Amino acid sequence: MNRVVCKIMKLAPTVKLNNGREMPILGLGTYASQNKEGEIAIKHAIDIGYRHLDTAFFYQNEAEVGQSIRDKIAEGVVKREDIFLTTKLWNIYHDPERVEGACRKQLANLGLDYIDLYLMHMPVGYKYINEETLLPKDEDGALLLSDVDYVDTYKAMEQLVKSGLVRSLGVSNFNSEQLKRVLDNCEIKPVTNQVECSPAINQKKLIEFCKKHDVTLTAYTPLGRPRPEEQKPDYVYSDKVKAIAEKYNKTTTQVALRYLIDSGAIPIPKSSNPKRISENFDLFDFSLTDEEKAVLDSFNTGERMVPLNLIKARNHKYFPFAIEF
């Protein structure tokens, strides 16, 4: 008798978004995942159960991300509707007249016919020079900013949902007041605000604010970009966090990701290393006690890895990090 071996793959749980769609509560970040190495990494992630992928025009890897998805569809591993793909409108495209063209270019890069979630990458726009100049600067090296109102950009993004190019909209690097202004002026609510969120900047207040408005918070740089040579970030090397990790037979980075999930955030750790990609996904057989969460809370200094400290941006009227959250 032939025995049918049925491999049951464990997927991440999903959260119901304010538009009724579902988003997996763990995703794969892809900043600096490029070329063949990036493709191998993304394909491995899909093979082991990742269904939520995060990219951006700025990362210049949409071709690799799209290729990996299309290859996995062709192999029969997934269907298009199994994948939740996020990408982002880059800052040079804030002028409402440029939004649809930017999105269509990204769809062509990806080789896909829709994007699951399209985020405005930042509330501050940059001056458009040409599509190759992602960081336009003056002769002194200062970034050339634009003053397009992000609400006008968002309204142009709403048209993309209406025309079927995009399923859901969101924002990134928005503070609570900017998010509220979008909520007060939109027709289609943003489903998420993607911001830096890790043990070092746990975003408790912003998570609470988002929850009140039925918006999720996606946690970027959730691991704090580990740097073994500097023994940073602190939580990775803490004896207290190591003890928690040992109790569950996990690593300190897995404890950090579980902490973010238990706090209500949706982490999108990046790795190009298959072993670490698998490690970062192996989070759904444990959760932390209140005492253990309090240990992780103690690493919250509010210090950012990605402060958007670009020359002049700090003085811009839409610079997001000038208020507490």
Ligand X SMILES: NC(=O)C1=CN([C@@H]2O[C@H](COP(=O)(O)OP(=O)(O)OC[C@H]3O[C@@H](n4cnc5c(N)ncnc54)[C@H](OP(=O)(O)O)[C@@H]3O)[C@@H](O)[C@H]2O)C=CC1
Ligand Y SMILES: O=C1CO[C@H](CO)[C@@H](O)[C@@H]1O
Can you tell me the distance from the alpha carbon of 88 to that of 268, in angstroms, rounded to the nearest whole number? 14
- Restricted to residues 235-254, the positions that interact with ligand X (CB under 6 A) are 253
CB 226 → ligand X: shortest distance, Å?
A: 4
The only residue of 154, 220, 235, 299 in contact with ligand X, by rule CB under 6 A: 220
Please list every residue from 142 through 201 that binds ligand Y, using CB under 6 A: none
Q: Which is nearer to ligand Y, 88 or 250 (CB)?
A: 88
Selecting among 50, 59, 128, 235, the annotated active-site residue is: 59
- The span from the CA of 203 to the CA of 220, in Å, is 11
- Residue 272 to residue 146: CA distance in whole angstroms: 34
Of 250, 249, 270, 121, nearest to 198 (Cα)? 270
Binders of ligand Y among residues 30 to 69 (CB under 6 A) are 31, 56, 58
Is-catalytic flag, 237? no
Rule CB under 6 A: say whether 321 interacts with ligand Y.
no
Residue among 162 and 311 whose Cβ is closer to ligand X: 311
Number of amino acids touching ligand Y (CB under 6 A): 4
**Which residue bears the tokens 């999108």?**
268
* Shortest distance in whole angstroms from residue 232 CB to ligand X: 11
Q: What is the four-CA torsion angle of 117, 285, 33, 171, rounded to 10 degrees?
A: 30
* Residue listed under structure tokens 């928005």: 174
Beta strands 145-146 and 125-126, pairing class? antiparallel
Written as six digits, the tokens of 160 are 């993309």
Task: Tell me which residue has its CB nearest to ligand X.
Answer: 29
CA nearest neighbour of 40 among 271, 283, 279, 280: 271
The interface with ligand X within residues 256-315 (CB under 6 A) comprises 268-273, 276, 279-280, 306
Q: Is the four-CA dihedral 136, 138, 143, 145 of positive or negative sign? A: negative
Residue (62 or 292) nearer to ligand Y, CB: 62
Neighbours of 101 (CB within 10 A): 11
The residue among 75 and 322 lying less far from ligand X, judged by its C-beta, is 322
* 121 annotated to bind ligand: yes
3-state secondary structure of 225: coil
Per CB under 6 A, residues contacting ligand X are 29-31, 54, 121, 172-173, 194, 220-226, 253, 268-273, 276, 279-280, 306
Please report, in range form, the residues annotated as the binding site.
121
Per CB under 6 A, residues contacting ligand Y are 31, 56, 58, 306
Q: Which residues are catalytic?
A: 59
